[in-house]
A and B are shown apart, each in its own frame.
Chain A
Amino acid sequence: MTQILFKDINKEGLHTMKVYEGLGGYQSLKKAFAQKPEEIVEAVKASGLRGRGGAGFPTGLKWSFLAKDVFPRYLCCNADESEPGTCKDRELLLKNPHLLIEGMILCSYACRIETGYIYFRGEFQDLSFIMDKALDEARAKGYLGKNILGSGFDLDIHTHLGAGAYICGEESALLNSLEGGRGEPRMKPPFPAVEGLYSKPTVINNVETLCAVPYIVSEGADKYAALGTEKSKGTKLVSVSGHVKKPGNYEIEMGTPTSELIYNLAGGIQNDNKLKAFIPGGSSVPMLPADKVDTPYDYESLAEAGTMLGSGALIVIDDSINIVEATLRLISFYMHESCGKCTPCREGTRWLHQIVERIMQNKGQLEYITRLEDICDNMAFKTFCPLADACVAPVVSSIKYFRADYEEYFKNVPAGAAS
């Protein structure tokens, strides 16, 4: 399978300038500086690259939305990677920091940006130290700083550590946090491309997204676009976790069947149990039952199957697991991470948690299942940001596909005997 991001990922010393350059690193810069910035934006558009942070928004298009003629502009690389199940950015940052720097330089050149930030989740302190070293190396080599490689283009990049909040991965909350404010999403519009960091036009991209850019520039948009499916182009890093024999990050071509990921790359289900369910795109997307395991892993096919590609974290659940218990764990994550700004999320996540917990104590009533669905309906798409929708996804999908698991708890409870 074509490897772009992980081509040399396990090469000894890849995180150092010497090894990275030895493998052809930073070669794309010269090529880029020979072109007009707009041409790079066009190339990224043509490559079909879509945002790998979760929403899958076309990257080139995002870059072209920047408010015209307003400067300074900023680039923020989203390295908050907090979605349960997701650890792909971590591996890139740990082993190949220069790839990200190269991608950020290309993006900044294309968007006429002179200051970039890498926003790490608070727990990524070790990675930020590695990045700081890599940035120093890049400065020393003249890849960052004034008049980079004689192109007349200036850029510096800074690292910033969050304080450990999932919501700070949401782009506008990230901006608030980066400005030193409270990590809460901002109202949109204005979108960051118009009024972002310090109210200036800002590009926010995921680590993986930016890491794909050097390939597009050096190998050409066509070559990237030739990979994957018609609408989901290129390759994707998938973090496979859960009951598989070989959990880890795998780079696949878009459209590869999910079963291939589970049974081939990740070595199949642990203890040779049976697959019960899988969550294809990180904890925020609806889970699917085992019979959908052949769904091709790309944006469209997963959407058609009623879920999402999300951040590319495939969580595999075998038949030893009670889905209600798994769901409770997920709700508990969102309850803990809700920023509290809006009522349905702040109150709803907690209420869902209380109800599911009570079901598991065999103290509920059958009617609780419809109540859960109704509460989810009162939350879904009614909150300020998608975090509440993310909490609702596992609840609704688990009831949809595994209602029996819930009903199990009411077997011995006489109807109407509520707590």
Chain B
Amino acid sequence: MSDVTLTIDGKTVTVPKGTKVVDAAKQVEVDIPVFCYHEKIGPLGCCRMCLVEVEKMPKLMTACTMDVAPDMVVKTVGDKVEKAQKGVLEFTLLNHPLDCPVCDKGGECPLQDNTFKYGPPDTRMEFHRANNVKAAPLSPVITIDRERCIACQRCTAYSERIEQDRGLVMLNRGFHNEVNTFNNEPYDNRFSGNVIDICPVGALTNTDFRFKARTWDLENHDTLCANCGCNCNITLGTRLNEFMRIEARPNDAVDDGWICDKGRWGHHFMESKNKITAARENSVGKTEPTSFPNFPINAPAEQAAEKVIEIFKNIAEEHGPESIGFLGSPYATNEEGYLYQKLFRLLGTNNIDHKSYQDTPGLPIRHFDVEEIENSNIVLLIACDPTEELPILDLRIKKAVSRCGTKLLSLNDQDTALDKYAELKVKYKVGSEASAVDALAEGLARELGESIDFSSDLGPTGISDEDMKSLVEAVRSSMKICVVYNPAALSGDTSLRVKRLLSVIARIPTIECGAIPAAPATNAVGAVDMGLLPDFYPGGVPVSDSEKVKELWGENAPTKPGLSASEMIAKAKSGDLKALWIHRSNPVVDFPGGEQVVEALKNLDLLVVHDMLETETTQLAKIVLPSNGPGFDEGTTTNIGGRVQARRKALEANSIDDWKLIQVMLKKLGDESSYSRVAKVLNEISQKVPGYQEINSRFVGKQGCNREQVAGEEVSPGNVESAASSNGKLQLRVATYLFAHDKILDASSKLAYHFKPSSAFLNESDAGKIGVSNGDRVSISGNGTEMEAEVTIDNRCMEGGVVVPRISDEQGVNGLGNPDGSPAWVDIKKA
């Protein structure tokens, strides 16, 4: 786009064509007051606060709606403008209640600020100010004060243009207009809370924060949301070491200025009564391990940890290092993950993992930052449901499609909310993702005229030849493609197949391409990067590369591939694995296998769980250690776009920081490194982790920075195994539901109103065969487990499959899955 030069208050500024005058002014530090204008929402022209004088224009113009033009001369001062500003402010305040002394917005209110700077000193209003409703709930978490609303329409425009479902609308007209919902339905979509941040007055208030604190009494901490892999930037306000509220902290590269409601209201787990606050010993487990000394009651966590790690060392010495294992956390910080893998590799084992699905570090093409979605002309989603899994990605994709001309393609086994934005949606049968991905790769390879060493079969996928052809064509003809795939929703080794597909795409000469591995967990990318893997050291260094491993990690570093999480569980069951350490993970409900996982864990000589909340897994642990978790911890996480950002401490905890606790244990094992601050761990990461060379705490700053591409050797997938005959069973697809009733959103959560009953989404024809109709209760069984659900017939998936969203921990849907992560078959019967 060409540039335009203009002058504003005598200052010359050059900006891209299409820039609004109000934004151009910012660049030369000229302040034009606004109420309704919001850069991300776009111009509205409602409030008239931004009137400026433009040479050759007879009237004053609104700087927010006006595009810059060459040689334009703008004046933001002078009698004419100042009179208009005073006039507009007088109108705005005419019926405003001026209850600043009790208003949540007081102290950070654009209306206060603009009035102070540009307003008339007094008012000529001599009539009773209009009265209106002071506290009307728009949803359980948002309360509107109608008297304070200045009808700027930011919120309703946000609803229309950003979240795009017109949940919030203007009703009635003129002086009687009001922000409300259709038919008084609650305003309760996934992104509702952002209207609180953008409301320029105290009209839209956070019900949870209402009247809790004056804004100037808040301590604001710039940190990150820890609820999903987007890692949205937030400001966490505290007062007297108590949690007060969360607000968005705009970062274009990550969240584009928005957060989801789970990010805003899903942080009350920090004060949960299930919080683990001290180390303890449970009277569980098989027999007392012989070398296990009595655990002193009320021992501080560091003492306990020192003791326990010694026992791990003893077990490793006694039974060999293969007999111990570590299950790390995709929710923990990079520093914690890094130190933990260091600790266990020091114990001589590579039995390290953090997930129940297969994944490898690195990508054969560029790792795109989330922002790249906007300037890709094609976005291909594979097995992704961003709305539920990574909510802010949903907004970004909508923005790309509706404003940037991006076309959306989707390859998935279930329908998702974003489908209506998709140019092409190709649906494969549940469990057939391997064939579907291979078919796309093969189709593209053929277009390239490449000889290929794998063959694909569309048969099991249920995809028609034409659909696959259109998909191949759409990908092939793209100029810039961003592939977003969710490794956690891919069974077996399909994520390796996706990587093979990516390398084929990379070979198409005309395409600029990149990918985003979009697993939902907070630090799923960081956990892989930090080497919480049985076959890779941090930075994608394969354990088999003994030269490199020894160079980075010393002569004794183990180079034999370790056990994956599911293998560790299997070995625990068989008794080969004696001791397992789990950091912030709850495999009993979150991993497939259910009862089998429980049995395996029970069979261990020693299970240590280091977690922040009590879980089904902590109940099985011999030793429980307290972890502080988000809000209390500090360190970095790497989001789905590969951006490393700082999570900061907002609240003081009683327990020792996780990274310090690991350091105590490292010391105990003779490790000599000492970290005075968590930043020192990051320093070490930048030295030891390929891809993180440029990362240090200063560089990460407030907005984070991208790591270099993490290398990774391509692992070839095997042949697709043909599925066993179904025998009337259905393939299970466990879908993600954002507001699941789990440990994070417990019953006391502000978001409890989103909780849903268990349901099974069936295809019409399967429902017919089973003989159930909408609303029927069914029992679903598989893998020796059974659960109940209510039937919804809506063809969300194709015949032969069933979609069951994970709606709570109690529901236990993962228990139906196979512990090895292969596609699971279930039986469905009328209950």
Chain A residues engaging chain B, CB cutoff 8 angstroms: 165, 167, 182-184, 187, 335-344, 346-351, 354, 358, 371, 375, 377-379, 381-384, 418-419
Stretch at the interface among B119-127, B410-418, B481-489, B681-689: B119-127
Assembly CA distance A209 to B46 (angstroms): 31
Assembly CA distance A344 to B95 (angstroms): 12
* Cβ contacts under 8 Å, A383 to chain B: 48
Assembly CA distance A350 to B94 (angstroms): 10
Do the beta carbons of A382 and B175 come within 8 Å of each other?
no
Do the beta carbons of B91 and A340 come within 8 Å of each other?
no
Q: List 20 A-B contacts (CB under 8 A).
A: A184-B170, A336-B174, A337-B173, A338-B175, A339-B174, A340-B172, A343-B49, A343-B150, A344-B88, A346-B151, A347-B91, A347-B92, A348-B91, A349-B174, A349-B175, A351-B127, A358-B127, A371-B124, A375-B87, A378-B83
Do the beta carbons of A384 and B124 come within 8 Å of each other?
no
The chain A residue sitting closest to B47, CB to CB, is A343
* Cβ contacts under 8 Å, B83 to chain A: 377-378
Do the beta carbons of B48 and A343 come within 8 Å of each other?
yes
What's the least CB distance linking B425 to chain A, in Å?
A: 24
Do the beta carbons of A418 and B88 come within 8 Å of each other?
no
A382/B88 contact (C-beta < 8 A), A187-B65, A342-B48 known: yes
Assembly CA distance A349 to B95 (angstroms): 13
Do the beta carbons of A354 and B127 come within 8 Å of each other?
yes
The chain A residue sitting closest to B171, CB to CB, is A182
What's the least CB distance linking A303 to chain B, in Å?
A: 14
The chain A residue sitting closest to B175, CB to CB, is A350
Do the beta carbons of A378 and B88 come within 8 Å of each other?
yes
Chain B residues engaging chain A, CB cutoff 8 angstroms: 43-49, 51, 58-60, 65, 83-84, 87-88, 90-92, 94-95, 124-127, 150-151, 153, 169-170, 172-177
* Cβ contacts under 8 Å, B169 to chain A: 182
What's the least CB distance linking B454 to chain A, in Å?
A: 46
Do the beta carbons of A347 and B95 come within 8 Å of each other?
yes
A165/B173 contact (C-beta < 8 A), A187-B43, A343-B150, A378-B87 known: yes
A344/B43 contact (C-beta < 8 A), A338-B174, A371-B124, A382-B48 known: no
Do the beta carbons of B174 and A382 come within 8 Å of each other?
no
Do the beta carbons of A335 and B174 come within 8 Å of each other?
yes
Using A339-B173, A378-B88, A378-B90 as known contacts, list a sample of 10 further A-B pairs with CB atoms less than 8 Å apart, ordered by residue number in A.
Answer: A184-B170, A338-B175, A339-B177, A341-B151, A343-B49, A343-B91, A346-B91, A346-B174, A350-B174, A378-B83
Do the beta carbons of B174 and A337 come within 8 Å of each other?
yes
Partner pick for A378 among B44, B59, B91, B125, CB 8 A cutoff: B91
Assembly CA distance A182 to B153 (angstroms): 13
Assembly CA distance A5 to B83 (angstroms): 47
Assembly CA distance A182 to B173 (angstroms): 9
Partner pick for B175 among A340, A371, A419, CB 8 A cutoff: A340
What's the least CB distance linking B600 to chain A, in Å?
A: 58
Do the beta carbons of B48 and A335 come within 8 Å of each other?
no
Most buried by B among A187, A343, A348: A343
Do the beta carbons of B45 and A187 come within 8 Å of each other?
yes
The chain B residue sitting closest to A357, CB to CB, is B127
Assembly CA distance A358 to B126 (angstroms): 10
Assembly CA distance A358 to B91 (angstroms): 19
The chain A residue sitting closest to B96, CB to CB, is A347
* Cβ contacts under 8 Å, A347 to chain B: 91-92, 94-95, 175
Do the beta carbons of B177 and A340 come within 8 Å of each other?
yes
Assembly CA distance A349 to B173 (angstroms): 13
* Cβ contacts under 8 Å, A183 to chain B: 173
Do the beta carbons of A343 and B92 come within 8 Å of each other?
yes
What's the least CB distance linking A346 to chain B, in Å?
A: 6
Assembly CA distance A182 to B168 (angstroms): 13
* Cβ contacts under 8 Å, B58 to chain A: 381
A341/B46 contact (C-beta < 8 A), A354-B127, A378-B90, A378-B91 known: yes
Assembly CA distance A339 to B153 (angstroms): 13
What's the least CB distance linking B176 to chain A, in Å?
A: 7
What's the least CB distance linking B317 to chain A, in Å?
A: 73
Most buried by B among A183, A336, A341, A344: A341
Assembly CA distance A126 to B105 (angstroms): 51
* Cβ contacts under 8 Å, B43 to chain A: 187
Partner pick for A382 among B84, B125, B172, CB 8 A cutoff: B84
Partner pick for B94 among A335, A341, A351, CB 8 A cutoff: A351
Do the beta carbons of A344 and B174 come within 8 Å of each other?
no
Partner pick for A384 among B46, B127, B173, CB 8 A cutoff: B46
Assembly CA distance A346 to B95 (angstroms): 11
Assembly CA distance A381 to B87 (angstroms): 12
The chain A residue sitting closest to B124, CB to CB, is A371
Assembly CA distance A9 to B579 (angstroms): 99
Do the beta carbons of A419 and B126 come within 8 Å of each other?
yes
* Cβ contacts under 8 Å, A340 to chain B: 151, 170, 172-177
Assembly CA distance A381 to B54 (angstroms): 14
What's the least CB distance linking B471 to chain A, in Å?
A: 28
* Cβ contacts under 8 Å, A336 to chain B: 174
Assembly CA distance A375 to B88 (angstroms): 10
The chain A residue sitting closest to B93, CB to CB, is A347
* Cβ contacts under 8 Å, A187 to chain B: 43-45, 65
* Cβ contacts under 8 Å, B87 to chain A: 344, 375, 377-379, 382
What's the least CB distance linking B430 to chain A, in Å?
A: 38
Assembly CA distance A27 to B620 (angstroms): 92
Do the beta carbons of B65 and A343 come within 8 Å of each other?
no
Assembly CA distance A341 to B47 (angstroms): 8
The chain B residue sitting closest to A348, CB to CB, is B91
What's the least CB distance linking B46 to chain A, in Å?
A: 5
Assembly CA distance A33 to B43 (angstroms): 43
What's the least CB distance linking B775 to chain A, in Å?
A: 32
Partner pick for A418 among B92, B125, B126, CB 8 A cutoff: B126
What's the least CB distance linking A380 to chain B, in Å?
A: 9
The chain A residue sitting closest to B86, CB to CB, is A378
Assembly CA distance A336 to B44 (angstroms): 22
A381/B124 contact (C-beta < 8 A), A340-B170, A343-B47 known: no
Assembly CA distance A337 to B173 (angstroms): 8
* Cβ contacts under 8 Å, A338 to chain B: 173-175
Assembly CA distance A272 to B172 (angstroms): 44
What's the least CB distance linking A405 to chain B, in Å?
A: 22
Assembly CA distance A338 to B174 (angstroms): 5
Assembly CA distance A251 to B124 (angstroms): 47
Do the beta carbons of B170 and A182 come within 8 Å of each other?
yes
Most buried by A among B88, B90, B94, B174: B174
What's the least CB distance linking A392 to chain B, in Å?
A: 12
Assembly CA distance A419 to B125 (angstroms): 12
Assembly CA distance A15 to B94 (angstroms): 51
* Cβ contacts under 8 Å, A375 to chain B: 87
Most buried by A among B43, B126, B153, B177: B126
Assembly CA distance A225 to B44 (angstroms): 41
Do the beta carbons of B175 and A384 come within 8 Å of each other?
no
Do the beta carbons of A335 and B175 come within 8 Å of each other?
yes
User: Can you list the 10 inter-chain pairs with the closest CB atoms, starting with the nearest?
Assistant: A378-B87, A340-B177, A338-B174, A347-B91, A381-B59, A340-B174, A347-B94, A343-B91, A350-B175, A354-B127
Do the beta carbons of B170 and A343 come within 8 Å of each other?
no
The chain A residue sitting closest to B153, CB to CB, is A341
* Cβ contacts under 8 Å, A335 to chain B: 174-175
* Cβ contacts under 8 Å, A382 to chain B: 48, 51, 59-60, 84, 87-88
Assembly CA distance A382 to B53 (angstroms): 11
A342/B47 contact (C-beta < 8 A), A351-B94, A418-B126 known: yes
What's the least CB distance linking B338 to chain A, in Å?
A: 51
* Cβ contacts under 8 Å, B173 to chain A: 165, 167, 183, 337-340
What's the least CB distance linking A162 to chain B, in Å?
A: 13
* Cβ contacts under 8 Å, B176 to chain A: 340
Assembly CA distance A127 to B569 (angstroms): 78
* Cβ contacts under 8 Å, B124 to chain A: 371
Assembly CA distance A220 to B48 (angstroms): 46
Assembly CA distance A342 to B177 (angstroms): 11
What's the least CB distance linking A149 to chain B, in Å?
A: 40
Do the beta carbons of A344 and B170 come within 8 Å of each other?
no
